[in-house]
Amino acid sequence: MEARDVIKRPVITEKSSAAMAEDKYTFDVATTANKTQVKIAVEEIFDVKVDKVNIINYKPKKKRMGRYQGYTNKRRVAIVKLSEGSIDLFN
């Protein structure tokens, strides 16, 4: 799996923006990606040194539209702690 296939997009929320001060960055990643693949992808794309990777799995939620029901997409989010430097996400 290539680096661009592993990392989908950065997650920009109030909570993740506060974590950026501690060199923790949050990304939506592929549901099949593991911690090692995420670490390699972040180091390759952003040219930084990764210290630690935590992964959160979000289950799909039930949604209804009238009498029809379905599910939202499941998500996998990676929180990446950098050992040094920072990532400029707003460029």
Query: Each residue of 4-18: pLDDT tens digit?
Result: 999 999 999 999 999
pLDDT of residue 1: 82
CA atoms lying within 13 Å on the CB side of residue 28:
10
Of 88, 89, 78, 84, nearest to 23 by C-alpha is 84
Residue 83, pLDDT above cutoff 80: yes
Instruction: Compute the distance between CA of residue 15 and CA of residue 79 in angstroms, rounded to an integer.
Output: 12
- pTM, two decimals, is 0.86
Domain assignments of the chain as residue spans, ordered by start: 3-84
CATH class held by domain 3-84: alpha beta
**pLDDT tier at 90, thresholds 50, 70, 90:** low
pLDDT of residue 87: 79
Classify each residue of 45-73 as buried b or exposed e, where b means 16 or more C-beta atoms within 10 Å of its C-beta.
ebebebeebeeeeeeeeeeeeeeeeeeee
Residue 27, burial from CB neighbour count under 10 angstroms (0-12, 13-18, 19+) = buried
Q: What is the mean pLDDT of residues 72-90?
A: 86
Residue 50, pLDDT above cutoff 90: yes
